[in-house]
A and B are shown apart, each in its own frame.
Chain A
Amino acid sequence: MPDIMIVEDDPAIREELGLLLVNEGYQVTAVTHFADVSGQVQRAAPDLVLLDLGLPGRDGLALCADIRRTSRTPIIFVTSRDSASDELYALSLGGDDYITKPYNIPVLLARIKAVLRRTGGPAEPDTLEAGGLTLHLARGTASAEGGTAELTRNELKILACLMSHAGQIVSRADLIDALWDSQIYIDDNTLSVNMTRLRTKLEGIGLPGFIKTRRGMGYQL
């Protein structure tokens, strides 16, 4: 599992962000002493560093330059400073991405994934399993005892979202949130259409009623 190092001085964010990333299946190391951060990065050798700009002692920009001197670890700046000059400077120092607070959690996760993919970090899990169904993310197929079904991009995303929260109720709004892409905005009707098609396909591979509707609340596996 990719190892992510959090360099953030606000304890609440450090803790919650750590929890979020652990839930998403990453290993997390959080820096709590801000002396010799670049040394700590070198020793821990993480796959990615999330670096705040405003830190006690040396600020994030100086730290980024320090880290770059000894390592090529990908760095994502996560900061509340949003001026264009800060961003340009941060990227010119060797940062791989720049995310401003307050961030959308799905957006943050997507960008972490993108940087890891780009920099060739350890591969993410390619399959998800729940309730007798195996989802192959890269191939875009779902297989169960009754066979294998090919899924569209949206169906794949819906199923991935439900399966990674197996047992929990996922609201329609959350599903739409997961389906929203930078250019394609899914609305309620499209979700219903996709859901119906997905259920038909699942029925075809021997899993009728795999996705349960919880009236007024959302969907559940």
Chain B
Amino acid sequence: MTLREFLSDRLDRLLIQGICAAAAALFLWATGTQPGVLVILFLALLPVFVGAQLTGFFRQRTRLQELESILEGLDQKYLFAECLPPSNALYERQLWELTRRAGQAMASAVSDARSAQGEYREYVERWVHEVKTPITAARLICRELDGETRRKLAGELARIEEHVERALFYARAESPERDCVLRRTNLGEIVSRAVDAHRSLLIQSGVRVETDGLDCEVCTDEKWAVFLLGQLLQNAARYRGEEPVIQISARPLGRQIQLTVTDNGMGIPAHELPRVFDRGFTGRNGRSRGGSTGMGLYLCKKLSGFLELGLTITSQEGEGTAVTLTFPAKENLTKL
């Protein structure tokens, strides 16, 4: 708030005061008061008037600054009204009361929504764990079937698992701090877990998997990193070309480590590339093949944000795609 804003806000009051003063001067002059006396009176009253305005201005400004800093310091800004120091001014007190009531309504709506979301998340997690039991049983039963049927069924079961896993991590991504554990982990271990988790898809797709330079340590959550890498492997196997090869290689970049998953698949058209991390985005490849949900890379982006991983993608249509994960140097992890 500037002095100019303050004065223009009070323009009507100032005008009335000016008109009153002029009328009083006119009246005094008409009833025979000496003009010299009027000038003295004016000079005596002006500082009082100006002083009063300035005091009002500075008091309001200090109060506003105080409120501003309280708001700044709050994590949950909607609890502002609860944290205000009470005011002496009647009008402000009334406003405060109104704001407080509005804030309370908001706070209870927020906490209801939170607990509903928490319950839903819990339900999804429990459901995922429960559905894994029949999937496991189905896998075991599958063994007794003969060649072709078994392979097809195993493939479909693997797809169910992929969807179930995504649902689980989608639910978890809502409150990552609950089960994200950052630890020093061997990158090779993460990669071999991810490859193992998708071995049937990779083997059925006839993909050759090559690894290079993975014997190094990163500080991350192993499960989340395995899931993230798994999404990349799924994409590489899904959108494969002739004689598919997936290269998984790591190299240090200063204190960071860059893990790159390169495939020689169908690639992504340049104009679709900026949108592949958008929620629900299925490009031309996804639409032409079917079965794409547009959730995989979206989740990757979201999870990589929590893990403070850099996630970038480059692609040449018809040549292949390379996705790079940059693991941060250990000292720089702050968020979780």
Chain A residues proximal to chain B, CB less than 8 Å = 10, 12-13, 16-17, 19-20, 54, 80-85, 100-105, 107, 169, 171, 173, 176-177, 180, 182-183, 185, 187-189, 217-218
Q: Residue B209 at the A interface, CB < 8 A?
A: yes
Bound CA span A144–B280, Å = 60
What does the 1/0 interface line of B232-246 toward A look like (CB < 8 Å)? 000000000000000
Assess whether B135 is in contact with A102, with CB atoms less than 8 Å apart.
Answer: yes
Q: Are B179 and A187 in contact (CB under 8 A)?
A: no
C-alpha gap A215/B135 in the complex (Å): 32
Query: Considering the chains assembled together, what is the distance between the CA atoms of A173 and B208 in angstroms?
Result: 13
A101/B133 in contact, CB under 8 A: yes
In the complex, the chain B residue whose C-beta lies closest to that of A189 is: B208
Task: Determine which of B132, B188, B195, B197 lies in contact with A101 in the assembled complex, contact meaning CB atoms within 8 Å.
Answer: B132
Contact code string B204-220 (vs A, CB < 8 Å = 1, else 0): 10111111000000000
Residues A102 and B203 in contact in the complex (CB < 8 Å), given A169-B147, A171-B151 = no
Q: Is B140 an interface residue (CB 8 A)?
A: yes
Task: State the B residues within 8 Å of A (CB).
Answer: 128-130, 132-137, 139-141, 143-144, 147, 151, 157, 161, 179, 181, 188, 192, 195-197, 199-200, 202-204, 206-211, 221-223
Would you list 27 pairs from A and B whose C-beta atoms are within 8 A, ordered by A residue?
A10-B137, A12-B137, A12-B141, A19-B140, A19-B144, A20-B140, A54-B129, A80-B128, A80-B133, A82-B129, A84-B222, A100-B132, A101-B132, A101-B136, A102-B157, A103-B136, A103-B139, A105-B140, A105-B143, A173-B203, A176-B203, A177-B200, A180-B196, A183-B192, A187-B206, A187-B209, A188-B208
Could you tell me if A187 and B207 are in contact, using CB atoms closer than 8 angstroms? yes
The interface residues of chain B lying within 8 Å CB-to-CB of A84 are: 179, 181, 221-223
A80 to B204 CA separation, bound complex (whole angstroms): 25
Q: Which 10 A-B pairs have the closest CB atoms?
A: A16-B140, A187-B208, A80-B132, A185-B209, A12-B137, A102-B136, A80-B129, A182-B192, A101-B136, A84-B181
Known A80-B132, A177-B199; further 14 A-B contacts with Cβ < 8 A: A54-B129, A80-B129, A85-B179, A100-B132, A101-B132, A102-B135, A102-B136, A102-B139, A102-B161, A105-B139, A173-B204, A176-B203, A180-B199, A185-B195
Which residues of the partner chain A approach B197 to less than 8 Å between Cβ atoms?
A: 104
Is A13 touching B140 in the complex (CB atoms < 8 A)? yes
In the complex, are the beta carbons of B196 and A182 less than 8 A apart?
A: yes
